[in-house]
Structure formats: structure tokens, C-alpha cells
Amino acid sequence: MSDDSSKCLFDITGSLAVVTGAARGVGLAAASALAQQGASVLMVDVLGEELKTSCSALRAAGRKVTALQASVTDNGDLTRLAEAAAARQAVSVVVNCAGIMRRTDIDTMTSQDLQDLWEVNVAGSVAVTQLFLPQMMEQGYGKIINVGSLGSVIGLERRTAYATTKGAITQYTVSLASEVGPYGVRANVIAPGYVDTDMAGPYIWGERDRTERLLERIPLRRFATPADLDGAFMFLASAASDYITGQVLLIDGGWTAN
């Protein structure tokens, strides 16, 4: 395969991508990666100031991005998101990265803990997907990338509610892929291991003994950076992955290999 052919496989120039949770961390990495490959990216996050700063930085680098402060759990905001996208063009790629974390012991976890995480991590992702799924099915093409975690496939101590939502996202995505595949829509999960972000940073670096235990468990002996996920987002958003759907791509430095 020639270099030009390889570049074409990953080129998504002219596409419109919606990325939630795009103000920082993994969501920002997704927005940056897709914009780098030529997509126009609508960056969505409830964190208005951080979103504005991130969007401005990408624009300064020559990327085609716009920002929309919105919550994936607010019906009015979802309507604004749909309208903002419709004012541009049909959406080809959706990345559901908006999520929250809460650590509690199993015996003190409350139904409210589970509900709070469920509303953002699961219901929010489903709601955003449903905004754009009909047009993807009508146009006969679309890429839905949901962000899971190690908790999609293994247990996570003191993060039972979080892992429950990430397991649900995996099953939702696999079921979605089965149902919408005949319409040309692909749905996959990116499941990162420990990524050094604002959300995970305090945990992975908070105690020296814990940091060392975690790193010893990872064959590559380091935590991921958000940029380590760039290739996966580029791949799953592009024609290079057109025959891949209903899959969970673990990006964990080898954690689950042990």
C-alpha cells in the first residue's frame, strides 16, 4: 500500500464529528485527533471556560473546531446540540466521552451514587447517540465511538457504580452495532486503562505505594497519556475501520494481558 493510500484510509476531511466531554483529558484528545485528520469537530462539554480555552488552542493550531457548552443530561442542551450540528452538516462521527467518576466502598455506595453516574455515563451517551443515529442510518454511514474503561471488562475496587456504567456502555454498544450495522453505521468502544488526566491523576499519583503497585501491574510500566489514544480515535472514525463494529478496543498498556 502506498503512503498516499494509507493517508486516505485515515483521512476524514469534510466530515463533521461531535465529541462530548471535549474540554479536557480523553475527550480533548479525541477532538484534537479527529481535527488533525481533517474533520470539523463540534466540541461539547459542561465545563464552559475550559472548553473555550481548549477550543481556542486547537483553532490556533489550524484545526476546524467549534465549542458548545452543554450538558448531556439536559434536554434543552441536547436540543441546542442537535440544532448546532444541523446548522453545519450531517454528522458522520460521534464520540461519547462525557463521564464522571465516584469512588465509594461497596457497603456505602448509595442508589444516588449509581443514579448520578448512570445519568451521565450511560443515559447521556445514549441520548447523544440517538440525536444523530437517524440521519446516520438515512445516509447509510456513520461511526459511533463510546468511551469505556478497564471497568468495562474487569472489576474496579471502590468504583463499583462507575464500573457498572462502563459495563453497560459496552453492552449498549455491542447491541447497537448489531441493530444498526445493516444501515452502514458502526459502533465500537475504546476502553482505556489508567490515563493521566484530571479525573484519574489524583488517584494514580496520590499515594506512592499505590502508584508503584499500579505501574508494576502494567507491562509497559507507565500510565497512558491522552495522546496515547489518538491513533485509536483516528482509526475507528475513519474508513480504515469500516469492517469493524461491535468491538471493545482495550488500550491499557497490557494490564489485561496479565
Please check whether residue 132 is in contact with residue 85, taking contact to mean a CB–CB distance below 8 angstroms.
yes
Distance of CA 45 to the CA centre of its chain: 12
Cell 484528545 locates to 29
> Pick the catalytic residue: 162, 172, 194, 243?
162
Known active-site residue 162: yes
- Alpha-helical segments (H) within the chain: 3-10, 25-36, 48-60, 75-86, 111-117, 125-139, 160-180, 201-206, 208-217, 230-237
Q: How far is CA 110 from CA 72, 95, 155, 166, 169, in A?
A: 22, 29, 18, 17, 20
Distance of CA 217 to the CA centre of its chain: 24
Please check whether residue 56 is in contact with residue 33, taking contact to mean a CB–CB distance below 8 angstroms.
no
Which amino acid makes up residue 76? G
Active site residues: 162
